[in-house]
Amino acid sequence: MKYLYFLLLITVFFIYLLIKKINLSVNILKNLLIGLYYVAFKASFYKNKSECIKNGITPVLNSINIKVNKFGLSENNLPTLYVVNHQSYLDSLIMKLLKPEIYTIAKSHVANDFSFIKNFSKNILDNWGVILYEMGNKESGKIVRKLIKENIESGKSILIYPEGTAHAYEGLKHFYKGSFEVAYENNLLIQPVTIKYLSDITWGEKVSYSKDYNLDILKNIRKCEENGNNEVNVTFHPIINTGKFDNADHLMKYVKFIITDEFVNQHNYKI
């Protein structure tokens, strides 16, 4: 049954490639398939999901010449809210490589859809550590706060991007306060993380000088492959005790300052 499941996975993958007519190299396609095997198949049956996630991500990042440089306090095993700036779709791959046990919260119709394809997708998301909630709910903000609180208090760590979406240029943008309010009100630990791309492979919201590979994921992948080396600095800052701040706004501004300072100055400190 396991092998039939993976055969179906491969079939769906290649049908998708044919439909999209993706013009990617054989090396990238091969490593995407390896990644899919570990994340979608092996992680479904293997007890150590974190190892499967890392084994799936590593060849994918290697195939597009991503070299991750890790700095700061990365050895944190406490239930923590990881607050990260957002410059690319690659951010999540990089964070899962370094912290495969972290969870993310996402809204999706998949949460309450029980069709075969949706359950197939949900299985992959479960292996990846995505906590789903129903789209279209007017109380979604409250739901997310509740999920952050409950999951961290149960021993899990949650990854959030307070900017809400990726921005390829112009540094850090507006931070949304909701996650800081729940952290402050419940005395949850926060660890700021700064991600800085050292080559022009960022991806996100369109600005006047965006290039095509800053907007299109497939073109971005090809750009990464064309570059000989794409270094990414990831700095894990000291863990913050949220109870020591005046209020959630004070906490949010401090976290943003910490992330921004490293983004601009690149101290690359080691702990």
Query: Residue type at 257?
Result: F
Which of 256, 117, 105 lies closest to 176, judged by CA? 256
Cβ neighbours of 70 (radius 10 Å): 15
Residue 5 confidence (pLDDT): 57
Residue 7 confidence (pLDDT): 57
**pLDDT averaged over every residue in the chain:** 87
> pLDDT tens-digit profile of 86-137?
999 999 999 999 999 999 987 665 545 544 445 556 777 888 898 877 655 5
Give phi and psi for 178, each to the nearest 5.
Answer: -50, -50
Which of 241, 204, 198 lies closest to 92, judged by CA? 204
Q: Which residues of the chain, if any, have pLDDT below 50?
A: 1, 19, 111, 114-117
Question: Could you tell me if residue 171 is left (phi over 0), alpha (psi between -120 and 50 degrees) or otherwise beta?
Answer: left
Tell me the angle at which helices 2-20 and 26-36 cross, rounded to the nearest 10 degrees.
140
Residue 9 confidence (pLDDT): 61
